[in-house]
Amino acid sequence: MKIIMLGAPGAGKGTQAKQISAKYSIPHISTGDIFRANIKNGTELGKKAKTYMDQGALVPDELTCDLVMDRIQQDDCKNGFVLDGFPRTIPQAEALDEALKKVNQSMDYAIDVDVPDENIVKRMGGRRACLSCGATYHIQFNPTKVEGVCDACGSKTVLRDDDKPETVKKRLTVYHDQTQPLINFYDNKGILKTVDGTQDLNKVFEDIVAILGE
Ligand code: ADP
Ligand code: ADP
Ligand code: ZN
């Protein structure tokens, strides 16, 4: 099963992708997590990506596409994968299509987690991220057991630099300009499914399971 998560920053793509990954035993591939890991390890890619991420801009396609194409060709992706945060532009979606076409494959589902902008700004201020393992929490809607400590790995959780309100607003503009057109793109391919992302996170997952099957 090959799945794309669509939706605004903070819509809950990552939260749902992790649950999909666990239930259907397919890898969760988050370009944001990959960039953050590179920043943490001080790689060249990380240094380049950071300048864009800090401004709430997209990392250029040429730094992003090859990375994902390499990842989805790895062995653990044989039975599918869930893409979270990729594609984010039409050229990225076309590059993905091309790469899959070469091996006679195509994506199965594009799930749009639909949340209006008003809810997003509120949500992001409460997001806390673990930069060690990629887990995400919310101080109100999905808190850690011990405040400020990741349930999964025990590292410190933080407010991401790009989750400050000014940057969130910029990211929303970028989303509407560059990423939202993908909704039509995948609708035209007949694989778009929409879920109401304003619901409780467990209910959102139930709706996704209803789409993907038990
Ligand atoms: P969120 O989960 O809030 O949408 P991500 O972790 O997916 O955020 O992405 C954080 C930042 O990483 C983005 O604002 C962007 O700068 C960069 N990024 C992630 N994925 C992509 C991509 N596919 N193309 C370009 N930039 C990306
Ligand atoms: P994305 O990957 O789309 O940027 P996340 O999965 O990181 O979004 O979720 C953004 C924030 O909102 C996180 O703090 C997360 O815990 C919280 N969250 C996710 N889904 C819901 C939901 N259905 N209701 C309330 N908060 C949610
Ligand atoms: Zn962690």
- For residue 89, what are its two tokens? 């532009």
For the annotated catalytic residues, the residue numbers are: 13, 88, 127, 160, 171
Asked if the structure places residue 36 within a domain, the reply is yes
Asked if the structure places residue 122 within a domain, the reply is no
Q: What average pLDDT does range 180-205 have in this prediction?
A: 98
Asked if the structure places residue 101 within a domain, the reply is yes
pTM surpassing 0.85? yes
pLDDT digits (tens, 9 = 90+) for 115-131: 999 999 889 999 999 99
Give residue 172 CA to ligand 3 midpoint distance, Å.
26
| Terminal Cα distance for the chain, rounded | 13
Asked if the structure places residue 144 within a domain, the reply is no
Percent of the chain with pLDDT over 90: 96
Asked if the structure places residue 134 within a domain, the reply is no
Asked if the structure places residue 123 within a domain, the reply is no
The CA–CA distances, whole Å, from 162 to 23, 56, 118 equal: 30, 6, 17
Checking if the pLDDT of 58 tops 90, the result is yes
Question: Domain total for the chain?
Answer: 1
Checking if the pLDDT of 107 tops 90, the result is yes
Asked if the structure places residue 157 within a domain, the reply is no
CATH classification of the domain holding 63: 3.40.50.300
Find out whether the beta carbon of 13 lies less than 6 Å from any atom of ligand 2.
Answer: yes
Q: Which atom of ligand 1 is nearest to the CA of 171?
A: 14
Checking if the pLDDT of 212 tops 90, the result is yes
CA angle (195, 172, 136) in 5-degree steps? 65
Residue ranges around ligand 1 (CB below 6 Å):
9-10, 13-14, 31-32, 35, 52-53, 56-59, 64, 85-86, 88, 92, 162, 171
Residue from 141, 151, 199 to probe ligand 2 pocket by mutation (most atoms less than 8 Å from CB): 141
The ligand that comes nearest to the alpha carbon of residue 120 is 2
**Alpha-carbon distance 21 to 3, whole Å?**
10
Q: Which domain holds residue 44?
A: 2-116+166-212
pLDDT at 122 (0 to 100) = 85
Find out whether the beta carbon of 10 lies less than 6 Å from any atom of ligand 2.
Answer: yes
Find out whether the beta carbon of 87 lies less than 6 Å from any atom of ligand 2.
Answer: no
Residue 97 burial (CB count, 10 A): 16
Asked if the structure places residue 130 within a domain, the reply is no
Checking if the pLDDT of 12 tops 90, the result is yes
